[in-house]
Amino acid sequence: MALFYAAVTKEIGIEMATKPPKDLAGHRKQSVKLRTARGRTNSSQRWLQRQLNDPYVQKAKAEGYRSRAAYKLIEINEKYNLIHPGMTIVDLGAAPGGWSQVLSRWGADQTLIALDLLEMDPLEDVTFIQGDFTDEDIYQELLSYAADGIDVVLSDMAPVTTGHKKTDHIRIMDLVEQACYFAIDVLKPGGSFVAKTLQGGGQNDVMILLKKNFQKVSHFKPASSRKESSEMYVIAQGFKE
Please write the tens of the pLDDT for every residue from 147-166: 889 999 999 997 766 677 77
Whether the CB-CB separation of 155 and 131 falls below 8 Å is answered with no
Handedness of CA 221, 223, 224, 225 (dihedral sign): positive
Among candidate residues 76, 81, 74, 40, the one with its CA nearest the CA of residue 56? 74
The whole-angstrom separation of Cα 109 and Cα 37 is 48
Nearest to 54 by CA among 79, 105, 20: 20
**pLDDT of res. 93:** 94
In this predicted structure, what is the pLDDT of residue 107? 77
Contact 186, 134 (CB under 8 A): no
Is residue 55 within 8 Å of 29, Cβ to Cβ?
A: yes
- DSSP lists the bridge partners of residue 192 as 152
Which of 165, 196, 221, 240 is catalytic? The answer is 196
Which stretches does DSSP call E strand in 99-230? 111-116, 126-130, 150-155, 187-198, 214-221
User: Tell me, what's the pLDDT at 71?
Assistant: 93
Tell me, yes or no, if 196 is annotated catalytic: yes
Q: What is the pLDDT of residue 228?
A: 72
- The matching CATH number, chosen from 3.40.50.1980, 3.40.50.150, 3.40.50.970, 2.40.10.350, for 2-24+32-239 is 3.40.50.150
Question: ω into residue 96 within 30 of 0, thus cis?
Answer: yes
Report helix, strand and coil shares of the chain as percent, to nearest 5. 40, 20, 40
Report domain extents, the chain.
2-24+32-239
Looking at residue 101, its amino acid is: Q
Instruction: Give residue 151's Cα distance to chain centre.
Output: 17
Distance between CA atoms of 207 and 25, rounded to whole angstroms? 34
Q: Is 132 exposed, middle or buried (0-12, 13-18, 19+ CB in 10 A)?
A: middle
At residue 198, φ and ψ (nearest 5 deg) are -125, 145
Number of alpha carbons in the 13 Å side-chain half-sphere of residue 186: 30
Per-residue pLDDT of the chain (241 residues; tens, 9 = 90+): 333 333 333 333 445 564 555 555 444 444 444 445 555 565 555 545 555 567 878 888 888 888 889 999 999 999 999 999 999 999 999 999 999 999 999 876 889 999 999 999 999 899 999 999 999 999 999 999 998 899 999 999 977 666 777 777 788 889 999 999 999 999 999 999 999 987 765 577 889 999 999 999 999 999 888 777 778 899 999 999 7
Sorted by sequence, the CB contacts under 8 Å of residue 98 that are 6+ apart come out as 60, 65, 66, 67, 68, 69, 70, 73, 156
The reported pTM is: 0.78
